[in-house]
Every structure is written in C-alpha cells, then in structure tokens.
A and B are shown apart, each in its own frame.
Chain A
C-alpha cells in the first residue's frame, strides 16, 4: 500500500520535471519552426554567423524586400558555430539553411562536399567574376566542378609598423618610404639589425606571424591537391621556417605567443617594431593599444602579400530551400552589399569591384598616422597568389609552431626541431 504511494509520488515528481521543461521551452522551440501561418508560402531560412559581419541591417533589408522569405540570423561564437555545424552534418540533422564558414574550416568541409549543395547548380558561375580568383578557389573542389560556399570577406596581410621606433633608429617612417626601404625579406633582416642596434627593440614579437608571412607568399603550402604532405620536397615552407628561425637565433624576434596579454601589451608599449598581420588586425591593435594612436602605420609587405582569415557562406544539404537560400547569399555577397558590410563592420570585401570605389579607396585612419588603410589592403588582396590548402593543415601548422616555440623559448636546434615536427606530423596524418 505504502509502496504504491511512493511510486505515485515518484512518478509525480518525474513527470513534474518533464512538464516543467516542456513548458519552459515553448518560447525556445517556436521561432525556429518556421511557418507562422499568416502567409502560407513564407519560407524561413536559418542563417548562422559567428561574429560581427554587419549583416544585421542587410538581412533586415532583404526580409523587407522579399516578403516571401524570412532570413533568421543566429549568432554563435566562432568555434561553437563550426563545431555545431560539424556535429549537425555528422549526425544528419540540425544544420541551418545557410551557414557562414571561416576560411580555416573550409578545407575540412570542402573535403566533405556532399554535405553541401553545389552552388554551380544554382548559378554560381554567373557571379564567379565578381570575386578574387584566389578567394573563390578556396571553396572550390580541386577539379573545379563543385563549389560549396561563396566568399564574403578576406584578410589580406600587410606590415603594421611603429613610426616612433623607425624614427628613433634613424629610418624613414612614411608608408611609401618604408615600403621602399623594406622591399625584400633581406631588407627586412637588415632593418631588423639596424633597429636592434640603434634602439634595442625586436623587429617583431611573434615567431608564428613571421613564419606565416613568408609562407603565405609561396605558390605551395603544406599539401598538394591529392592531400599529400609536400613540406619535405617543396622548398617553400622550409625556407619560411629557416628564415624565421634565422631571425630568432640572431635574437631579433620576441617570443610572445599570439593573443596572450604579453603580446597585447607589446602593442601598446612598442616593444617590437613591426606586426605582420591581416586587415582585421586594425581593430585588435586599436583595442589593445588605445594610447598608441599615431605611433602605428601600415604599409605593404616585402615581396608580395598573403591572406590570413576570411569567411564564406554555404548552404548545407539538409536545407529544404536551396533556391531561396542561394538567392539570398548571392545577393548578400554582391559587391554593393559587401561594401555596405565593410562600412558597418569593417570586414574586408572579397569582390575587387569594390576596390575601385572612390570613397572606399580614400578611407584613411588617423590612428595609423593617416594611412589609407583600405587602399593598402586592396593592393595586398590583388597580389595574393592562389594556394591549395589541405584539410589537415591544422595538424601541420600546430606542430611547426611548436617547433618554432621550441627554438625561440627552449633553445632548440632548428634542424632537429624541424625533423621532429615532421615526424610528429606524419604520425598524426596516418590516422584520419
């Protein structure tokens, strides 16, 4: 008898819990389910983004102009969003209709292209010429017949430098003169030595960025188009590594790791003379070093340019509305809208058409001593060479950075560290 009461009580509490949950999520479930009923044919498109791209206003505009479509913008943290996209594709449900993809994740998803609609089937050929060739190729299969995502923004690289340190070392500090002074990587080493001996300051404080800058100018990177590791046969990566370790061993490079407080501190204290970074670093520098306004300027990198960062916009196969989704993304990535996004959020457009815009080119930044930032980065963007990036790039990159850190912080021998890194890389590549 009393046992029964306990069972009933027990079931009651359990069901209470379940009911309480299902009540509370009414608000959560509804908005994503779509059809609100007031217009029968209205299509809701879930659109995942992972940062401030300035798309809010554009989405609003699009929803107004297209009453049959409701684009539902959902913001998540970058890593979270990519993990969620991965999990959804892997488990077969839960993916949005439209998803942004950061460039670093593109190779991995491109390798699993069947999870995305081929945008060539929806007319991507027609807009291809709007975009920079190298940006486009990132999201295209090596054979060139499958396109998983349209480029939105890019991260062309340039050389940020401290005018005060250059002046102190008796060097010119105007962007054009500095570009002329440092037109090759050999010049860069010369200037590094001068600055060190005149002021005691390091030329740069991140071994990783130095390595990246040289690597990104090469026509090949870690893998060939068959996803075979080529760093032992192709000379470029090793050259970049040797260049970086050479400067490290000469004592010209600091040893801060990226994104650490020391690294941010170095920006405002001026403990290094240059920062080799992408267009979006503009915001980071200002945030990290609000007091250093006027001490920074930007000019072109020696011997070319590279790309660091950028994003794409894709339509996962789980979407039921690929046509509507494509219509939206091709509108969003048109030069006019990307220019608008640039003006709102500063993301650098992947469509060279924008680079001819007068207002765009004349944009200058007082913080960076009046540098015409947009024009510098537009120049850089057009100098980038297309490179094939393999899906296992993070494995290789992590191990090479470990080797660089070992050389910089633990007095490692560059050759030995390189060989060990290659060993570890091969070991890990055998597994997936």
Chain B
C-alpha cells in the first residue's frame, strides 16, 4: 500500500505552504470548489434515481386514487382505496404482525451479530474465514432449499423437527403453520437465521476501524473482555450501530421474502405482513389501486418508525 508514504509527504508540506495571504485569497473559491465537488460526487445517485426511481414512486401515488386491475382502463375513485384498506381488519393485522415479527427478529439479530463479530474479529480465533463464510451462507442459500428445510423443521406434524425436539422435553406438538404465535415465531426464526451472518459481516468491518492499540491498552489496564466490549467496542461502533438499527427497522417493516417462503401464496392472517398484504392485493387479487394505497401508507409508517427509532438509538448510544 503506497499511501503511507503520501501521508508523510502531506504532513511535511503543510508547514511550507501556510502563508496567510494565500489562505484568505483561496478561501472563497475553496468552499465553492468543495460544494461543487460535493454535488458532483453525490450526483450519480440522483441522476440514476431520477431516471429509474422517481417515476415508479409518482406512479404509485397516482395509482392510489385509481381503481385498476393492470390491464383494463383506470377509473378515478378518489380516496376510496384508502377507505377500503383502513376499514379492512386484515390490513391492520398485517401492520401488527409486521411490528411483532420485527421485534422478535431484530433484537436477537443485533445482539447475536455484535457478539459473533466481536469474537470473529479477535486475535485468537482460528479458521476465521471458514466461520465467516459459514455464517454468511444463509444470505445466499437458494430460497427453494430454505423453504423446504424450514417447512420440514416447522411442520405441523408430530415428526416435524421442532415438534420432535419439543416432545423430548414433554411438550405437546405445536401447529407451526396455523397458530397465532407459532407462525410468527417460526417466521422470526427464519429472519434470524437469514440475517445474523449478514450483520456479522457489517460489524466486523466496523470493528476493524477501531485501533487495536485501544484494546491492548485496556488489557494492560486490566479491563475484562466484557468491559472492553461495553466501553470500547460499542461506543466506537456507534455510526455502524446506527446504520444497522436503521436497516433492520426498514428491513423488518418491509419483511416479505421470509413470510412468503413460509406461508406460500396462501398468505394466512397469522403471518401476513404489510408488504405481503400489498403484494397479494396487486398480484393475486389484481387490485393495484388498493395495493398502492397500502404501499403509500406503509411508506409513511416506515418514515415515522425510523425517525422514532433514530431518536432512541441516538440517545441510548450517547
């Protein structure tokens, strides 16, 4: 890596270059240039988004006021779509399920992944790459295989793996596919399984920005591993933790793949999530108007929840 040399060059040139006159003269153009570069560097996102992302969003807002089955003429219906979904108990059930499954899934994910990342970033563990890649595999394993394996684990039958394990401890078999809480727990387990490794990788990257000397110094001062975790790791990881909390919040409010895999096309009320609801409206029931109304509503719910979440995370970690 050749940058170490550059860095020292920069350091030495600072002294030679600091004439006050030049500084004030360049000040205005410097800040102008900085703004210009700033806009330039962020522009690709906005250009691409302007081309591919903006129209679909405006279209969704527009569709929220139309009755449309995707093929025939649209019909303007005012706020009727919103009325229909707000008076639908299943819609509120879906929002409720989403939040419950979100809580059941997110907390364990964050806790497990920070701990696992801490372990996998520490010096003494051998075979790090093998453990990392193993933990990450759920993110890339085909959903076909996942659906079948989880179907067998959380089968209603007595010989399902979960029920079999329970029976060793003397519990009654549970109806995983139809029980109010059983469905949610099964889906949350699936979420946990799929996303821990993903978050571990993010946290490992975050941990590597923490200078190793801090740990060494703490060890010399006699700090225990737990103290190191709470007084060095967690505070210094704050930007990354805010990042993962935000992502988990948005991700769990948009939860879709896992319940779809687990429930199949028959999105049952016990496990239907908000996005599954709007997906069913659009592509099963051909009601794009109400689907869009649900999407717009969900969008605002996500904004509100994310904002509240941001405030809480910020307060806790500072």
Contact = CB atoms under 8 A, between A and B. Distances in A.
Given A7-B40, A409-B177, A90 B71 contact: yes
A431 B175 contact: no
B146 interface: no
Interface in B263-285: 264-266, 268, 281, 283-285
Interface string A254-286: 010100111000000000000000000000000
A164 interface: no
Contacts of A108: 71, 286
Interface in A376-424: 391-392, 394-395, 398, 401-402, 405-406, 409-410, 424
B40 A409 contact: no
Nearest to B81: A431
Interface residues of A, number: 36
A431 B37 contact: no
A424 B175 contact: no
A313 B69 CA distance: 22
Interface in B233-275: 264-266, 268
A115 B281 CA distance: 22
Contact of A3 (B37, B88, B287): B37
A109 to B, nearest CB: 8
Contact of B152 (A6, A261, A391, A430): A261
A112 B71 contact: yes
Contact of A402 (B69, B148, B151, B266): B266
B164 to A, nearest CB: 14
A80 to B, nearest CB: 12
Contact of B84 (A90, A409, A430): A430
B71 A6 contact: no
Nearest to A412: B178
Contacts of A257: 177, 264
A86 interface: yes
A234 interface: no
B155 interface: yes
B67 A409 contact: no
**Binding site of A, secondary structure by majority: helix, strand, loop or mixed?**
helix
A90 B284 CA distance: 15
Choose among A109, A260, A392 the residue with the greatest number of B CB atoms under 10 Å from its CB.
Answer: A260
Nearest to A13: B44
Given A409-B177, A410-B175, A115 B71 contact: yes
Contacts of A401: 266
Interface string A5-30: 01100100010000000000000000
Choose among A10, A428, A432 the residue with the greatest number of B CB atoms under 10 Å from its CB.
Answer: A432
Interface in B136-175: 148, 151-152, 155-157, 175
Contact of A432 (B67, B156, B177): B67
B103 to A, nearest CB: 24
Nearest to A260: B151
Contacts of B71: 86, 89-90, 108-109, 111-112, 115
A93 interface: no
A362 interface: no
Nearest to B149: A261
A145 interface: no
A431 B156 contact: no
B151 A432 contact: no
B53 interface: no
B51 to A, nearest CB: 12
A209 to B, nearest CB: 15
Given A255-B156, A432-B69, A409 B33 contact: no
Contacts of B44: 14
B70 interface: yes
Interface in A340-360: none
A260 B40 CA distance: 53
Given A89-B71, A111-B72, A262-B155, A431 B40 contact: no
Interface string B51-71: 000000000000000011111
Interface in B27-46: 33, 36-37, 40, 44
Contact of A406 (B33, B151, B178, B264): B178
A227 to B, nearest CB: 12
A431 B283 contact: no
A431 B287 contact: yes
A184 interface: no
B290 interface: yes
Given A261-B148, A261-B151, A432 B178 contact: no
Interface string B179-212: 1000000000000000000000000000000000
Interface of B: 33, 36-37, 40, 44, 67-72, 81, 84, 88, 90, 148, 151-152, 155-157, 175, 177-179, 264-266, 268, 281, 283-290
Interface of A: 3, 6-7, 10, 14, 83, 86, 89-90, 108-109, 111-112, 115, 255, 257, 260-262, 391-392, 394-395, 398, 401-402, 405-406, 409-410, 424, 427-428, 430-432
Given A89-B71, A261-B151, 5 more contacts: A86-B71, A112-B71, A402-B268, A409-B177, A410-B175
